[in-house]
Chains A and B, each alone.
Chain A
Amino acid sequence: MIITGSLPARVAGIDSISPTLKRFRFEPDGPAEFPTAAPGAHVLVTLRGPERVWKNAYSLVTPPEERGHYAIIVRRVEPSRGGSHFLHDVLRSGDRVELSAPASLFPIASLARKHILIGGGIGITPFLSYLPVLKARGAVFELHQFCAISEAETFRGLLGTDDPRVHVHGTGGRPVFEPILADQPLGTHVYTCGPEGLMRAVAETAKGLGWPANAVHQESFAGAAGGRPFIVHLARSGQTILVEESQTLLEALEGAGIEAPCLCRGGACGVCLLPVLDGEPEHRDHVLSEQERAEGKIIATCLSRAKSDRLTLDY
Chain B
Amino acid sequence: MIDQGIKSRPQYEPLRPDPAGKRHLLLVAEPTERPDAFLAAELDVETWIVVPRDAEGVAGIPLPGQGGPRRFRSPRQMLDCLAPRLAQERMGLRLYATGREDFLWEIDGIARRAGMGKGEIQLAHAGSHARRIFCVHCRTYNEGVTTTIVRCGGCGAHLFVRDHFSRRLSAFMGVKVDAETPGDVPPAEQAYR
Contact = CB atoms under 8 A, between A and B. Distances in A.
A186 B119 contact: no
Interface string A169-191: 00000000000010111111000
Contacts of A111: 112, 115, 117
B3 interface: no
A207 interface: yes
A215 interface: yes
Given A213-B119, A214-B119, A186 B89 contact: yes
Interface residues of B, number: 19
A286 interface: no
A214 B93 CA distance: 14
Interface in A200-226: 207, 209-215
A205 to B, nearest CB: 11
Nearest to B20: A210
B90 interface: yes
Interface in A103-143: 111-113
A215 B118 CA distance: 10
A207 B19 CA distance: 11
Interface string B105-137: 000000010111111100000000000000000
A210 B22 contact: yes
B22 A186 contact: no
Contacts of B115: 111-113, 185-188
Interface residues of A, number: 18
A210 B112 CA distance: 17
Contacts of A187: 114-116
Contacts of B112: 111
Q: From DSSP, what is the main secondary structure of chain A's interface residues?
A: loop
Contacts of B117: 111, 212, 214-215
A211 B118 contact: no
Contacts of A183: 90
Contacts of A210: 20-23, 91-94
Contact of A186 (B21, B90, B118): B90
Contacts of A215: 91, 117, 119
B91 A209 contact: yes
B86 interface: yes
Nearest to B18: A210
Interface string B86-102: 10011111100000000
Interface in B26-63: none
B20 A188 contact: no
Contacts of A184: 90-91
A119 B20 CA distance: 26
Nearest to A210: B92
A1 B149 CA distance: 48
Contacts of B89: 185-186
Contacts of B86: 186
Nearest to B91: A184
A289 B66 CA distance: 52
B18 to A, nearest CB: 9
A113 B112 CA distance: 11
B175 to A, nearest CB: 31
Contacts of A207: 20
For B91, B92, B112, B114, which residue has the most chain A Cβ atoms within 10 angstroms? Answer: B91
A207 B92 CA distance: 9
For B23, B115, B116, which residue has the most chain A Cβ atoms within 10 angstroms? Answer: B115
Q: Sort A-B residue pairs by CB-CB distance and give the 10 closest, nearest first.
A: A187-B115, A210-B92, A212-B119, A210-B22, A186-B115, A113-B115, A184-B91, A210-B21, A186-B89, A212-B120
Interface of A: 111-113, 181, 183-188, 207, 209-215
21 contacts: A112-B115, A113-B115, A185-B90, A185-B91, A185-B115, A186-B90, A186-B93, A186-B114, A187-B114, A187-B116, A210-B20, A210-B21, A210-B22, A210-B91, A211-B91, A212-B117, A212-B120, A214-B117, A215-B91, A215-B117, A215-B119
Interface of B: 20-23, 86, 89-94, 112, 114-120
Given A186-B116, A209-B22, 5 more contacts: A111-B112, A184-B91, A185-B91, A210-B92, A210-B93
